[in-house]
Structure 1
Amino acid sequence: MYTTIIEPRVSETDGVGHINNTTIPIWFEAGRNQLFKLFMPDSSFQNWKMIILNMNVDFVDQIYFGQDVKVYTWVKRIGNTSLELYEELHQKDRLCARGTAVYVNYHLERKTSEPIPENIRVELQKHLK
C-alpha cells in the first residue's frame, strides 16, 4: 500500500463547509504519484506511460478543511498491459471516500498498449490488496 498525506486547502472547501466532491479525484491522483514514478522515473511527459481508462468514486463521509487526509492506494489487479487500483481517503481515522482506477501501460508514439515490464510487475505485487 502506498500512503500520501494531503493537507486540505481553503480553496477546496465549498459553501456547505466541507471539501468539494470535485477535489476527491484529484487527491486520489496525488496518491498515485509513487506508481507513476515506477513507470516514468524521470516524470517526463514525453515518456508518459500511464493512461487512465476508468475511475469510480464512492463518497462515504464528509471531509473538512483543517485536518490532514490520508490517501491509501493499493494495487487490486495486475493484467498484461493494465492495472487496477483500489483507493481510500481517511480523515481522523474515518473512511471518507473509496474508489477504483484502471490504467494501461501505453506507448505514446506508437499509440499502443505495452506489457507491464517484469521489474515493475514485481514492485506492484508488493502493494496488492
Structure 2
Amino acid sequence: MFKMTIEPRVSETDGVGHINNTVVPVWLEAGRNPLFKLFTPDDNFDHWKMIIINMNIDYVSQIYFGIDVDICTWVKKVGNTSLQLYEEVWQKDTLCAKGHTTYVNYNLEKQTPERIPDDIRKELLGHLYNEESL
C-alpha cells in the first residue's frame, strides 16, 4: 500500500461545511505519485506513461476542514498493459471515500499501449490489495 497524508484547505470546503466532492479525485491522484515515479522516474511529461482510462468513486462519509486525511492506494490487478488501483480516503478512523482507477501503460510517441515492464510489475505486485490484511 502507498499512503499519503493531506491537510485539507479552506478553499476545498464548500458551502455546506465539508470538503467538496470534486476535491477527492485530485487527492486520490496525489496518492498515486509513487506509481507515476515507477513509470516515469524523471516526471517528464514528454516520457509520461500512465494514461487514466476509468475512475469510479463512492462517497461514504463527509470530510471536514481542519482534520488530516489519509489517502491509501493499493494495486488491485496488474494486466499486460494496464493496472487497476483500489483507493480509500480516511479521516480519523472513518472511511470517507473509496474507488477504483484503471491506467494503461502508454507510449505517447507511438500512440499505443505497451506491456508493463517486469521490474515495474514486480514492484506493483508488492502493493497488492488484500482484504484479509486490513
Work out the CA distance in 2 between the residues paired with 1:89 and 1:34. 17
Amino acid of the structure 2 residue aligned with 1:109: E
Work out the CA distance in 2 between the residues paired with 1:24 and 1:3. 15
- In the TM superposition, residue 42 of structure 1 has moved relative to its aligned partner by 0.4
Question: For 1:17-59, what per-residue CA distance to the aligned partner results, in whole angstroms no more than 9, with x for missing partners?
Answer: 0000000000000000000000000000000000000000000
Question: Map of 1:80-99 to 2, 5 A cutoff?
Answer: 80-99=80-99
Q: Which residue of 2 aligns with 1:115?
A: 115
Where do 4+ consecutive residues of structure 1 move more than 4 Å?
none
Percent identity for Structure 1 against Structure 2 = 67
Would you say how many aligned residue pairs link Structure 1 and Structure 2? 129
Q: Which residue of 2 aligns with 1:128?
A: 128
Question: Map of 1:12-51 to 2, 5 A cutoff?
Answer: 12-51=12-51
TM-score by length of 1: 0.99
TM-score by length of 2: 0.96
- In the TM superposition, residue 93 of structure 1 has moved relative to its aligned partner by 1.2
Give unmatched runs, 5+ long, in structure 1: none
Work out the CA distance in 2 between the residues paired with 1:126 and 1:93. 25
Q: 3-state SS of the aligned residue for 1:21?
A: coil
- In the TM superposition, residue 14 of structure 1 has moved relative to its aligned partner by 0.1
Q: Which residue of 1 aligns with 2:102?
A: 102
Q: 3-state SS of the aligned residue for 2:18?
A: coil
Question: For 1:61-112, what per-residue CA distance to the aligned partner results, in whole angstroms no more than 9, with x for missing partners?
Answer: 0000000000000000000000000000000010000000000000000000
Give unmatched runs, 5+ long, in structure 2: 130-134
1:61 matched to 2:40? The reply is no
Amino acid of the structure 2 residue aligned with 1:24: V
* RMSD between aligned residues: 0.3
- In the TM superposition, residue 16 of structure 1 has moved relative to its aligned partner by 0.2
Amino acid of the structure 1 residue aligned with 2:112: T
